[in-house]
Amino acid sequence: MNSDLSIEEMNKDYYKSKIEENSIALNKIRSRLRIFPFLKLLFFLTGVFLVIATYRWGWDRTICFILAALSLAVFSLLYKWDEHYLQKRAYHGALQRVYTDEISFLDGDYSPFDNGEPFIDKKHAYSYDLDIFGENSIYHMINRTVTHEAGAILAEKLSSIPKSEEEIVARQESLSELVRKDDFRHQFMAVCKGFDEEKNDYRLITTHKGDNTLLTSKTGLLLLCISIAITLTSLILAWLGYLPWAVFVTLFMIQLFLPVIFSQALNKVGADIGFLHKNNRIHADLLHVVHQETFEASQNRTLKEKLFGIHNSREALKELSILLKKFDQRHNAYILVLLNGFFLRDLFLLRQFYRWKNNYLCHLQSWISTLAEMEARVSQATYMFNLPEFIQPEITARADLLLDASGLGHPFISKEKRVNNDILIIKKQFLIITGANMAGKSTFLRTVGANYILAVSGMNVCASKFSFTLFHLFSSMRNTDDLSSGTSYFKAELERMRELIRYCRSHQHTLIILDELLKGTNSKDKLDGSILFLKKMRELPVTGIIATHDLELAKLENDLPGLFLNYCFEISLSEEERYSYKIQRGVSRNLNATYLLQKILREEL
């Protein structure tokens, strides 16, 4: 077994051991859950039986009522335990999916993860050409996010260049720390599995800007407590025979219908935000996971401070979760009648919601966004954990250097098939890369670009050495015509070059990656236009890598030595063509279009 395969197998064995460990816990939970329905029914029926027995057979009322109360108390406790274990079962089931998803990743199957197709932008400076988004893209391999906001944050990281090298170093420290915290990452991802994105719009809470000062004031609280005290006192006095039952019933009915005054607000809050209960509980669970973890990296510490520095977001969201659950319970008519009639439950519920909103609403979106940022980082760190052979890139102090890489390979290509290359890119130089069709030119261009995007995102790269300085990136590799708008291929090329020039003028230094300039015109026009374009680009803060089939373009190295450098991907033509996919200095000597066409003609005619 080769070393690459052993790394892959070791990772699979790691996740398989986690699955076995988690399966044991899951089976214990399932066995306990099988007992709870019987026990709940037993204690509930016992309580009901004891109450009936006092009237049917004349059993001692005091003893029966005490025992009935104890039975119902045990029933309530069992109900809570049952709910607790149901949540644990859901969590461990989600944890199982986390492990199996990572095994799928190691098998080259990214289908469990969202591919980021909505983020595809053909006009973006580089993301479309470098396969950042879409099926089997960089985003598709990295992404473990569930929420839309976290997915958007990850997309932003992969489609933008940081403003400073310090930001890149901070990202590296943050992700490297999370790579080591595999249990934390797995817990975080497992909790996230429970999100329902169709019911995750906290903006609905912000639409409830109304308030009731009397209801939320101390005077309002005092009036509510007095009303409840009078009603309960009338119940006790009626039970003891000092008051007619009609008095209690009248007070009960008044309290039952008192919340009708606030029914419009109650119904609006319940209808708009009641369904947020599940996702809010998940956010509270995520906060619990983060709260338990200790971080050393500055970005991770800052993230935790945002959540727990000024207000304890975990306690705030737990309080909101309880409120949302109570709003959800308003659909139960029995609970609504009993709790309103005795305790004015709806009024207290509305009062609690208004007070929570006044205390925490302004922080809510910040907390959700901070958790989404952690969700994106967990995705990146998990990808890095799965590929330990990738290395952390280094930012160099050399002012003249853009990139110096050894053993550079494309992260998409499996270890068994990947061919690695070395490359040195000096600022203000232009690398002219020639070679036959399918020799590896376009793949190499994407290899450079994709690894640089991983590097500035703070992630490890597919190389044995990778030193770089911060620069911007612009590519032109996949221009297409657009018949619906009357845009020809050549016009699309010109528009892309216009965008490139404007981009380079407005940015400090840019590496441009171009695959075959001016394909939409004839050979001489193409050559003259390409030479004109590249010579003009010298006047801008630009370095370039240009792949071409036009060997005449390679003569620029003779005209402007040191500024233009020739590289090539050579092939061997004999009975069967052979591709080395290795880059080397010089100009390609062998082209294969005629050779391959002749081969087809011999076989088919």
For 449-487, the pLDDT digits (tens) are 999 999 999 999 999 999 999 999 999 988 654 544 445
Q: How far apart are CA 365 and CA 88, in angstroms?
A: 27
Residue 346 has pLDDT above 90, yes or no: no
pLDDT at res. 93? 94
pLDDT cut 90: percent of the chain above it: 47
pLDDT at res. 201? 60
Residue 188 has pLDDT above 90, yes or no: yes
pLDDT at res. 604? 60
Mean per-residue pLDDT, 130-136? 95
CB 144 within 8 A of CB 113: yes
CB 330 within 8 A of CB 336: yes
Which of 185, 180, 21, 30 has its CA nearest to residue 96?
A: 21
Residue 204 has pLDDT above 60, yes or no: no
The DSSP bridge pattern shows strands 421-426 and 401-408 to be: antiparallel
Which position has the higher pLDDT, 240 or 426?
Answer: 426
Q: In 436-475, where does DSSP find H-type helix?
A: 441-456
Range scoring the smallest mean pLDDT among 205-209, 442-446, 448-452: 205-209
Mean per-residue pLDDT, 227-237? 88
CB 515 within 8 A of CB 446: no
Q: Which residues contact 259 (CB under 8 A, 6 or more apart)?
A: 266, 340, 344, 346, 347
Quick: pLDDT tens for 90-99. 999 999 999 9
Q: Which of 3-7, 53-57, 376-380 has the highest mean pLDDT?
A: 376-380
172 exposed, middle or buried (CB, 10 Å; 0-12, 13-18, 19+)?
buried
Q: At what angle do helices 218-240 and 345-386 cross, to 10 degrees?
A: 120
pLDDT at res. 19? 94
- Reading phi first (left if > 0) and then psi (alpha if -120 to 50, else beta), residue 521 is in beta
Mean per-residue pLDDT, 410-416? 88
What is the token pair recorded at 547? 């792949």
Q: Which residues contact 431 (CB under 8 A, 6 or more apart)?
A: 425, 544, 545, 546, 565, 567
**Residue 114 CA from chain centroid, whole number:** 9
Quick: pLDDT tens for 71-130. 989 988 988 888 888 889 999 999 999 999 999 999 999 999 999 999 999 999 999 999
Length of the chain: 605
Which position has the higher pLDDT, 60 or 498?
Answer: 498
For residue 47, give Cα distances in angstroms to 52, 71, 186, 339, 557: 9, 5, 43, 20, 94
Q: How far apart are CA 184 and CA 166, in angstroms?
A: 26
